[in-house]
C-alpha cells in the first residue's frame, strides 16, 4: 500500500460524496427557482436556520476533529496499525466531513434565508478544502500513523 494508491482510493470516495451533494444542491436550486419546493415546518424559520447551520458546522469541523482524537486515543499504546484500519479511518473522516454539504440541500429546499445558505456553504467549503486527500497529505498521515508504504 503506497501513498498514490491510498490517495487515489480516497479521492474516489471524496469525489463521489462531493459530486452527489453538488448535483442535489443544483437540483434543489432549480426546483426552488421554479417554485416547486419551499415546504414549511411548524417551527420558526430562525430555529431551523440555526439548527441546520449548527449541524453543518458540527459535521464539517467539530465531528472530524473529535473522531480523529478518539481514533488517536485508541492507538495510544500501539506501535503500528493495520492498513485496513487506517483506510477505514480515512474513509470515515471523509464521510463525516462531507456530510456538511448535504445540509445546504435541506436549507435550499426549505427556502431558508440566504445567510443560512452562505454559512452552510462556508462550512462545506472548509470541509471540502481541508479534507481533500492529496498525495502530500496522505503521505504525512501514513507517516504519523506509522503505515508502511510498500
* Rounded Cα distance, 145 and 82, in Å: 10
Residue 46, C-alpha cell as written in the block: 430562525
Q: Residues 99-112: what's their mean pLDDT? A: 91
Helix, strand or coil, per DSSP, at residue 44: coil
Most confident of 64-73, 103-112, 139-148: 64-73
pLDDT at 69: 94
Which of the four pLDDT bands, split at 50, 70 and 90, describes residue 128?
Answer: very high
* Rounded Cα distance, 141 and 11, in Å: 15
Share of the chain above pLDDT 90, in %: 61
CB 7 within 8 A of CB 134: yes
Helices and strands counted in the chain (H then E): 7, 0
Q: Residues 67-92: what's their mean pLDDT? A: 90
pTM: 0.87
Q: Sketch the domain layout of the chain as residue ranges.
A: 3-144
Amino acid at each position: 500500500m503506497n501513498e498514490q494508491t491510498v490517495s487515489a482510493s480516497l479521492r474516489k470516495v471524496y469525489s463521489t460524496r462531493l459530486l452527489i451533494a453538488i448535483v442535489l444542491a443544483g437540483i434543489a436550486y432549480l426546483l426552488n427557482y421554479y417554485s416547486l419546493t419551499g415546504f414549511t415546518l411548524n417551527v420558526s424559520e430562525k430555529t431551523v436556520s440555526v439548527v441546520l447551520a449548527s449541524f453543518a458546522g458540527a459535521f464539517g469541523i467539530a465531528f472530524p476533529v473529535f473522531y480523529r482524537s478518539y481514533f488517536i486515543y485508541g492507538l495510544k499504546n500501539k506501535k503500528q496499525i493495520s492498513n485496513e484500519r487506517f483506510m477505514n479511518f480515512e474513509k470515515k473522516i471523509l464521510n463525516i466531513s462531507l456530510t456538511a454539504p448535504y445540509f445546504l440541500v435541506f436549507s435550499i429546499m426549505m427556502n431558508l434565508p440566504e445567510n443560512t445558505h452562505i454559512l452552510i456553504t462556508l462550512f462545506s467549503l472548509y470541509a471540502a478544502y481541508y479534507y481533500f486527500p492529496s498525495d502530500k497529505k496522505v503521505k504525512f498521515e501514513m507517516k504519523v500513523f506509522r503505515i508502511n508504504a510498500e
